[in-house]
Structure 1
Amino acid sequence: MQLGQMPHITFSKLAKKYGNVYQIRLGSSDIVVLNGESAIRSALLQHSTEFAGRPNFVSFQYVSGGTSMTFASYSKQWKMHRKIAQSTIRAFSSANSRTKKSFEKHIVAEAVDLVETFLKSQHFNPSHELTVAAANIICALCFGKRYGHDDLEFRTLLGNVNRFSETVGAGSLVDVMPWLQTFPNPIRSIFQSFKDLNNDFFSFVKGKVVEHRLSYDPEVIRDMSDAFIGVMDHADEETGLTEAHTEGTVSDLIGAGLDTVSTALNWMLLLLVKYPSIQSKLQEQIDKVVGRDRLPSIEDRCNLAYLDAFIYETMRFTSFVPVTIPHSTTSDVTIEGLHIPKDTVVFINQWSVNHDPQKWSDPHIFNPSRFLDENGALDKDLTSSVMIFSIGRRRCIGDQIAKVEVFLISAILIHQLTFESDPSQDLTLNCSYGLTLKPFDYKISAKPRGSIVN
């Protein structure tokens, strides 16, 4: 109960009193919480193997039918699984690959769709449309096709993803208080929904991967499902990988890619409206680099430092993944002079890194320019200090894909539209806590900036 509605803020306050490494009791579990850049980097980079475990939580066993790489415990098989998944994603999205071009085309198509949808409404809440766009992009990446907005199967998938964020808290409570499963109570029924949603989501993914296997041609890699089938279905026996790991990896990619991208874009639109002078400055730079007779492309990125700075500042300021998925220690380890035994559950408070006053001047102020040097170029040292996709062995494997999506969609939206607030409501930056921090519902309007470029 002491953690309140925003545990990451409570963790940071406790760090001021007890230091950056301390232990709390949650239910029946003793949990170590790590705060601040030096403690977290020391743990996840210098002691990456010791902190690479996952707790044996009840809820983790229901994600992706138990074959999720994200939630699996650290082992020789997990290392092999991750290595193969990483190299496959890298090959798929490498600079000269045909698949990279088709991925970018999918992103542009969704961004143009968003522009047209936003212009149809006078005042709207962009949240649902952004989720649809992010889901369509990740489905195109994994399954080679996008879905119509009224496709029943697709709408069910989106409904499940939204409800998953709502029920995940029940999974967390059952993890630290397992006895909640054994007698009738509200948490037990919400946890049952959590299990059902995971089953439905995994069945959807499994069905799509099975369809891909039936038409798989090693000479023609159509999408990520084909790429994973090519390496995991045919992996050597000693890797321990099976067809189920292909489905688990595709599930991981969709689950992670959908929520983070749509949440990032949701915050960005809110911040554009909250700070119109920043929006004008972004439009000015994009017009100067891109002009008005074509759409921004990924090749423009190296000349759009202020847009990249805006994206990094959105990630830092909102810290919309405030606490990572829990880690556990694989062996005894010492951090900042404190001994942590093997199999200890560890919470990583990313929010504390992004709001550390020793690292960031006025961390509570939204200021994209903090990421630019005196020549207006992006400060790579500072951008690498923003923690949203975690670091070390458990770093999100889709982070580069997510950054391309967020860059291209936001560039096209800012190039094509001007966003304004609904005068009937006060814009607040308050948010709800879940798997990600989401802004409360808000309404904005969009005006075209000249004719729409297709």
Structure 2
Amino acid sequence: MLALLIILVSFCCCIFSTWYRMYRNRNLPPGPTPLPLIGNLLNIERGALVNSLMKLWKQFGPVYTLYFGSKPVIVICGYEAFKEALVDQNDVFGARGETPALDSFTKGRGIVFSNGERWKLMRTFTFKTLKDYGFGKKGFEGKMQEEARCVVEELRRSQGQPMNPTKCFTNAFVNLVCSVVFGERFDYSDKRFTKLISIVDEIFRTMSSTWGQEKNDPRTQFTMESLLYALHSVFMGASDTVSTTLRHALLIFLKYPEVENKIREEIDRVIGRDRLPEMDDRLNMPYTQAVMHEVQRFSDIAPLDLPHLVTKDVQFRGYFIPKGTDIYPLLCTVHRDPTQFATPYKFNPNHFLDENGQFKKNDAWMPFSAGKRICPGEYMARMEFFITLTTILQNFTLSSEKEFTEDEVAPKLTGFLNSPIQYELCFIPR
């Protein structure tokens, strides 16, 4: 009985200690009442993390606190709060927070998951090296055009029969990175290439050298391990996101064929049928630009931006956030902010068109995040999306035997990404 009493007292002390640590700083943003030991885990619906966080946004406002166990996490929602933190105070909110599902693999390396001096060095090195190999230059646009031509040839092999284009699109966008990193592209059936694709797929399912004398410096960040993690970041960023965006776009066009037709009219007028699309064509294609921006807003591929971390104690919107606290910027709340978009939950290209039908920017469009941690591959992704999409519509008309509902067109959360439903469509040669 004495031993049982000691165990019971110890357990109660543990609960009290945990509870006290949760509430010792009462100037954190508001949030649901946490339970001892498990925090707010009961407030998160199984398999519906983002939806649960959005419900709490409506209940507690743009800045609120959640506890995962005894550890507080600050969730930031809506355009104004998002901009105020990640853009206006990017020095404070710009560090990378913990990502438990990936930290054991990345070990704080690469471009995406590193911090401090390591992050600055590897980001600068990666950008400089990619630029040296043609990234962002006219020659790189030519590689994209060539890959888009290969996509068209691959789609023609379907002979207008129903097909799922996922594999074709993923092959194309990974091949573009290969052409920069390795200096050559691969045939889609190449065994080495298919092995690389399978590795990239597996990772998603589970979630020139400048070394010189550097190798003798024990503090150097230019190691083979750092190089591999940097390459990993480039491949992961390029392999799935643009492919997923393009599949969202084609599904939307099947639901709203009038959108596809308007884009094709613009393609025929500006580009014609005798040459490949170029990035400069965008300037004369306001409707196409508006649709592409709306596809990225509506599909909202990364609804929960990767965690951030505050680098020092900070007062934010009247609340105190201590140094080292993880920040969850809920990016989907920016793209679903009713103060920024007239119909936030519906596909509507007019969000990016003015009264004269010209393209207009919207600062709340943030598919690549914002601030210091904005996606380093933004320009490449936008170029890939435009050239591939317009080349496909230049050569094919889309059709499907199935009629899709608005619910089926809406993005579906799979893990940390919003993905379209699996579907087939026909590419009818023009």
Q: TM-score by structure 1 length?
A: 0.78
User: Comparing 271-280 with 231-240, which one deviates more in the overlay?
Assistant: 231-240
Q: Which residue of 1 aligns with 2:151?
A: 114
CA shift for structure 1 position 114: 1.9
Highest RCO, 1 vs 2 (Cα 8 Å, sep ≥ 6): 1
1:159 lines up with 2:138 in the alignment: no
| Contact map agreement 1:323 1:347 (CA 8 A) in 2 | yes
* Aligned CA distance change for structure 1 residues 273 and 234 (closer, same or farther; 3 Å): farther
Q: Secondary structure at the match of 1:339?
A: strand
CA shift for structure 1 position 87: 4.5
1:392 lines up with 2:371 in the alignment: yes
* Aligned CA distance change for structure 1 residues 56 and 280 (closer, same or farther; 3 Å): closer
Query: For the residues of structure 2 that align with 1:57 and 1:414, how far apart are their CA atoms?
Result: 39
Deviations 1:149-183 (A, max 9, x none): 22222222212222222212xxxxxxxxxxxxxxx
* Aligned CA distance change for structure 1 residues 132 and 94 (closer, same or farther; 3 Å): closer
How many residues align? The count is 382
Q: Which residue of 1 aligns with 2:79?
A: 37
| Contact map agreement 2:130 2:180 (CA 8 A) in 1 | no
Q: Which residue of 1 aligns with 2:21?
A: none
Deviations 1:102-145 (A, max 9, x none): 32222222222222222332001111111111111121122211
1:140 lines up with 2:179 in the alignment: yes
Q: Which residue of 1 aligns with 2:401?
A: 422
Deviations 1:34-67 (A, max 9, x none): 1001111111112212112223555444445653
* Aligned CA distance change for structure 1 residues 337 and 238 (closer, same or farther; 3 Å): farther
Report the residue type matching 1:15 in the other structure.
W
Query: For the residues of structure 2 that align with 1:67 and 1:425, how far apart are their CA atoms?
Result: 42
Q: Which residue of 2 aligns with 1:200?
A: none
The residue correspondences of 1:321-400 to structure 2 (distance < 5 A) are 321-380=302-361, 382=362, 384-400=363-379
Q: Which residue of 2 aligns with 1:104?
A: 141
Q: Could you say which structure has the larger radius of gyration?
A: 2
The residue correspondences of 1:182-197 to structure 2 (distance < 5 A) are none
Return the match for 2:165 from 114, 126, 129: 126
The residue correspondences of 1:288-303 to structure 2 (distance < 5 A) are 288-303=269-284
| Contact map agreement 2:307 2:329 (CA 8 A) in 1 | yes
Q: Which residue of 1 aligns with 2:392?
A: 413
Larger proportion of helix? 1
Deviations 1:347-390 (A, max 9, x none): 1111000010111001112111321223332213x1x4211111
Q: Secondary structure at the match of 1:160?
A: helix
Q: Secondary structure at the match of 2:67?
A: strand
Provide the identity percentage: 31
Query: For the residues of structure 2 that align with 1:420 and 1:364, how far apart are their CA atoms?
Result: 25
Deviations 1:193-213 (A, max 9, x none): xxxxxxxxxxxxxxxxxxxxx
Deviations 1:50-85 (A, max 9, x none): 11222355544444565312111x313322332343
User: Comparing 352-361 with 11-20, which one deviates more in the overlay?
Assistant: 11-20
CA shift for structure 1 position 4: 3.8
Query: For the residues of structure 1 that align with 2:403 and 2:311, how far apart are their CA atoms?
Result: 54
Return the match for 1:81 from 122, 128, 146: 122
| Contact map agreement 2:134 2:180 (CA 8 A) in 1 | no
Calculate the aligned-residue CA RMSD, in Å: 2.4
Q: TM-score by structure 2 length?
A: 0.82
| Contact map agreement 2:255 2:405 (CA 8 A) in 1 | no
| Contact map agreement 1:77 1:239 (CA 8 A) in 2 | no
Query: For the residues of structure 1 that align with 2:201 and 2:218, how far apart are their CA atoms?
Result: 38
Report the residue type matching 2:242 in the other structure.
V
* Aligned CA distance change for structure 1 residues 68 and 317 (closer, same or farther; 3 Å): same
* Runs of 5+ unmatched residues, structure 1: 169-225, 450-454
| Contact map agreement 1:330 1:342 (CA 8 A) in 2 | yes
Report the residue type matching 2:227 in the other structure.
T
Query: For the residues of structure 2 that align with 1:232 and 1:85, how far apart are their CA atoms?
Result: 13
Deviations 1:246-290 (A, max 9, x none): 332222111111121111111111111111000000000110011
CA shift for structure 1 position 297: 1.7
Report the residue type matching 2:50 in the other structure.
H
* Runs of 5+ unmatched residues, structure 2: 1-41
Report the residue type matching 1:75 in the other structure.
G
* Aligned CA distance change for structure 1 residues 304 and 315 (closer, same or farther; 3 Å): same
CA shift for structure 1 position 10: 2.2
